[in-house]
Amino acid sequence: MTRSAVRYALLVAMVSAAACGDDDASVDANVDAHIDSNVDGDGDPGADARVDSNITLSADAGDVVYALIGEPITLDGSRSTGAARFAWNLGNGEEIAESENPVAEGITYDAEGRYVVVLTVKDAGGARQTDATTVVVTHPLTHTPRQSGTLLVTRIGDAEEIVTIDEDASEVSRLRFDPVRRSLEVVERITVTSPPRSLTKTTTGYAVVCARHVSRFGETLADETVIPLPLGADAYGAVERAGDLFVTMPGRHALAVIEGDAVAGEIPVDDPRAIALAPDARLAVARFRSGDDRAAITFLDPASGERTDLALAFDPQASSDTESGGVPSYLAQLLFSPDGRALAVPSLQANIGEGRFRAGVDLRLDTTLRAVVSFARLDGEQFVEDFPARKQFDDRGFASAAIYSRHGDFLYVAMRGSRAIDRVDTLRGNGSSGSILSAGFAPDGLGLSADDRFLFVRASLSRELRVYDVSSFASLPPLVAMASTVSREPLSETMLRGKQLFNDSLDPRLSRDGYLACAHCHLDGDSDHRVWDFTSRGEGLRRTPSLFGGGDGPLHWTANFDEVQDFENDIRAHGGGLGLMSPEDFRATEETLGETKAGRSPDLDALAQYVESLTALPDNPHAPDDASARGAVVFRDAGCATCHSGPRFTDSGASLYDVGTLSSGSGQRLGETLSGLDTPTLVGLHRASRFFHDGSAASLRDVVDRDTEDRHGATSGLSASERQDLVAYLRTL
């Protein structure tokens, strides 16, 4: 290798290590002087060693340059001092020969990328110095991203305006950040009538999506228009298209179409939450919880009704220390890149392909699930998944939000349970290029200043809006400002602590390596709609139940826990956590149906109190009607109420029943033969996507039709109309 090649390779390595992909890719001239004086082709320092403390020669390659493919750019080394001659290595295999001109013009790049450009200068005596900068080359920036999220950043004069929400407090806040003073202040707040979930930019201001309504705002929060949504909307996301607002309503499996100030109609979409406006003005809507075979994103033209599905494939790979297979689920946000050529989808990847029963491979805490970002690329007129580009993150459990930089060269990703923000370099194979640690409890909203210098983070369960200076990742980006997102804490101290613990995977008492949190299977207290293979836990195939409507009776399908505090066992055995109890108290109460754990750990009791508080169900879109009234009679006459009794429609804890659903995959209970299952509640049944403990019934009608031996109520003799009425009744519960 020639001397110049060695120097260039070392400079590139130092730029990559020191700047970690930063825009500021300068290298200290003194470091290069050391290289020059010690490296030569024949081992003799030679003339290049003529560098000493009295020489004022200094190389300056200039600031980072952003360019488009094929667009001529200029490299400027005129800030160098003491230099007589200048040469450039362009980082793409090309060089600009040495000359007296410090400026190199008309340089073009024919492919996107992040190029390290090295300037070499010489003085009249032949001494030399080098410096490096970065040229970032992208496709033309043709798309202004439009999606919903939990915060919105807008440039207002010399300041950044941030609008954000708090679901627990039902508040919307408008804040202003001064980048010169680095100050963040609350401008105004408003209370809305149902919990806010997200917000989006509109032509006249912005819209806040709440569970039961949408609030449109102009320039201030005082300028509010309230638009009620249909019963049971349980709304989450929205985006504006051609003046109309499209709102995701997972409770109704539909989009609401808002024209003006009223709902004009609905468009059926399965389990929608995240929504974005595609570069071709179609709507992109994600199915929040995936099926077992793939994740799905629907591209929809509201005018024609034409639909196209984008599939994110099931990953069949066997688990390793750094990656695992499975299906992307909890598709939290859809983000189209500024060049309109890529789509990024943060989520978690649920490893439902493995397990002792299914594949003879036990699930571990680091292989059950992990944070991923999936990518799709424009292929002709459609987006197609770029499966090899799917990015998995070590020590992260759930990628809950993301945002592209203004040129699309970086993607910032919020890790909800791990309390971290990771930066992905999209121009270098989606490699990790820096992190922000300890970003607050449950970060789930991101925004960037107009110049990409400041990152805004909503730490939802710290009730904070945080501002980080991300101009460099050479060290951890500093926190420069912070403000509360609520006027007052809406929860009691114990309840807030319990909710933080429920959503956290960083606390080593809860989980090892940051992967597992209660919320990663029960986000917001709901079900992830997965069937997990818990055979290695002494159970079997188990469908994740919703936690809504609970509050009494034993837990799990096999009633193997008699108090929420028994999850201390799962924390220790399956999450790798150190535990919330003292070792002595845990040893005394390790048997889950033995001595109580309650009262022995304030944090464990706080966690239990939060779980037990999840008694209120979202509104049911299925209102009682004549069919459901007839179905109630069928329910009674068929004997269903014998076990599904009381206000929660369960006799949980009374006995275990085999209603004909036990199979070879049903596993055990407490290390013994499984004789039956605890009676599940029927409250909120309409929200489930599959049924029975192993998810073996795909619909409520399948549940009714499956029982041909009357082991699950006297239903085998029901007529088709009676079965239909029974299902109508069950949906109203």
CB 283 within 8 A of CB 300: yes
Supply 442's token pair: 């449950």
Residues 6+ positions from 533 with CB-CB distance below 8 Å: 352, 354, 355, 356, 357, 358, 359, 363, 540, 541, 665
| Portions of the chain given CATH number 2.40.10 | 398-484
Indicate the Cα dihedral angle 451, 455, 456, 457, nearest 10°: 160
Q: Is 63 exposed, middle or buried (0-12, 13-18, 19+ CB in 10 A)?
A: middle
Residue 726 region by backbone torsions, left for phi larger than 0, else alpha for psi between -120 and 50, else beta: alpha
| DSSP reduced 3-state for 163 | strand
C-alpha span between 236 and 195 (Å, rounded): 10
> Which residues, in sequence order, are bridge partners of residue 373?
346, 391
Residue 365 region by backbone torsions, left for phi larger than 0, else alpha for psi between -120 and 50, else beta: alpha
pLDDT value of residue 55: 59
C-alpha span between 149 and 170 (Å, rounded): 16
C-alpha span between 522 and 499 (Å, rounded): 12
C-alpha span between 57 and 80 (Å, rounded): 8
What does the DSSP 8-state code read for residue 314? P
| Portions of the chain given CATH number 2.60.40.10 | 3-138
Smallest Cα–Cα separation from 285: which of 250, 241, 334, 214? Answer: 334
- What's the predicted TM-score (pTM) here? 0.92
Give CATH for domain 398-484: 2.40.10
Q: Give the chain's residues under pLDDT 50.
A: 1-8, 10, 12-53
CB atoms within 10 A of CB 503: 26
Domain 140-267 has CATH 2.130.10.10: yes
pLDDT value of residue 26: 35
CB 302 within 8 A of CB 246: yes
Distances (CA, A) of 731 to 128, 617, 630, 684: 79, 13, 13, 8
| Portions of the chain given CATH number 1.10.760.10 | 626-731
pLDDT value of residue 279: 97
Phi first, then psi, for residue 573 (nearest 5°) are -80, -35
pLDDT value of residue 551: 58
pLDDT digit string, tens, across residues 459-470: 999 999 999 999
Give CATH for domain 626-731: 1.10.760.10
Strand ranges for 222-300 from DSSP E:
224-228, 238-241, 244-249, 254-259, 262-268, 272-277, 283-287, 294-300
pLDDT value of residue 46: 32
C-alpha span between 459 and 436 (Å, rounded): 13
C-alpha span between 468 and 484 (Å, rounded): 15
Fold of 3-138: Immunoglobulin-like (2.60.40)
- Sign of the CA dihedral with 534 first, then 536, 538, and 541 last: positive
Q: Is 203 exposed, middle or buried (0-12, 13-18, 19+ CB in 10 A)?
A: exposed
CB atoms within 10 A of CB 20: 18
If you compute the radius of gyration of the chain from its CA atoms, what whole number of angstroms results? 29
pLDDT value of residue 41: 31
Smallest Cα–Cα separation from 395: which of 363, 421, 426, 418? Answer: 418
CB 198 within 8 A of CB 166: no
C-alpha span between 73 and 86 (Å, rounded): 17
Max Cα-Cα span within the chain: 104
Distances (CA, A) of 238 to 241, 346, 621: 10, 17, 19
The owner of tokens 């999850």 is 567
What does the DSSP 8-state code read for residue 647? T
pLDDT value of residue 553: 77
